[in-house]
Amino acid sequence: MAITKKPFGTVDGREAVLYVITNANGAKIALTDFGAALVQLWMPDRCGVFDDVVLGYDDAPGYTAPKGHLGAPVGRNANRIANASFVLNGVRYQLAKNNGENNLHSGPDFYEHRFWEGEEGEDGMSVIFRLDSPDGDQGFPGNAKISVTYTLTEDNAVRFTYDGVSDQDTIFNMTNHSYFNLAGQDAGTALDHKIMIPADTYAGTDSASIVTDPYVPVDGTVMDLRTPVRIGDGITAPFKPLLDCGGYDQSWNLSSPKEEDGLRLAAVLSEAKTGRVMKVYTDLPAVQFYTGNYVDYPGKGGHHYKPQESVCLETQYVPNAMNLEGVDQPFFKAGEAYHSVTEYRFSVEA
């Protein structure tokens, strides 16, 4: 199917573009070159009715909002870095402190508030967004060339492909911060959704959500999501990690095996009324499950998004990995290619 383009509003005197990809089934995604954000994601329910299942804004100026990261690719590093610093090759790099004493999502100069260069893929089902990130950008070393490719497949999967290379040793740990509600972006609470995460351990955190113990067993706790759990049944448990965050906002270490394509199952999200199911696959070791505990934003179509009306499933390295031992590290050598794939595969159940 062809990719269509249309104006999406003006930011700093530049006209943003909205790219829309539609497959043969009628599923479609919409993307903007301002922030390289996923703006819309339309999928059918069990009756063939399409709904937009991601939170977002009606135009590019909406994406200048300082909070939320709706639909945004996050980098160079996703999640929190303790004390907003890390050591690489014996040099300590200091980042901005935008989350108490810590750095969150490489802010406050986020990639989502920049124009990316968009290009339609030769397959007619993808859009590639490219960004040059200079040495010292956000505090990270190296001139980096970064790209995010969004692909809509004919079997209703949305694939995110991240690529990067730097002329100095640096960090690459990117994710997408889309908020999902499988009943529709304006449907209200997501507490009736069910979640399954195939993980034997999760990352233990302090009161500031900084990972201090990367491998805490889930056994006997509300963090055991190895079988489907109604989100609303677990979120109110008197369990300190949930109380510290106002709900789920933790990272799980994936224990599912990798398949032939190099991806492993990271999560299954389902919604009974519509029958929609979203399975998340990734080549990364962890997934952050966040229930939008602090969301309070005006969104698409005049809907005002509220806490726990949506779910984020952010694939990534273990948060704060660069300051921890015994975990996979997001360090990449000069000239070494960074490449990562995450897929959100949609289906329906009777």
**Contact 75/174 with Cβ under 8 angstroms?**
yes
Which residues lie closer than 8 Å to 98 by C-beta, 6 or more apart? 84, 104, 107, 108
- Contact between 111 and 36 (Cβ < 8 Å): yes
Q: What are phi and psi of 226, to 5 degrees?
A: -70, -20
Q: Is there a contact between 150 and 53 (Cβ–Cβ < 8 Å)? A: no
Residues marked active site are found at 177, 314
- Residue 224, classed as helix, strand or coil, is coil
Residue from 132, 1, 112, 23 nearest 64 by CA: 112
Residue with tokens 């990995």: 321
Segments of 199-239 assigned E as strands: 201-205, 211-217, 229-230
Contact 288, 79 (CB under 8 A): yes
Are 341 and 316 in contact, with CB atoms under 8 Å apart?
no
Who contacts 134 (Cβ-Cβ below 8 Å, separation ≥6)?
143
Distance (Å) of CA 211 to CA 102, 261, 288, 322: 12, 30, 12, 11
CA atoms lying within 13 Å on the CB side of residue 343: 17
What's the rounded Cα separation, in Å, for the pair 219 and 231? 18
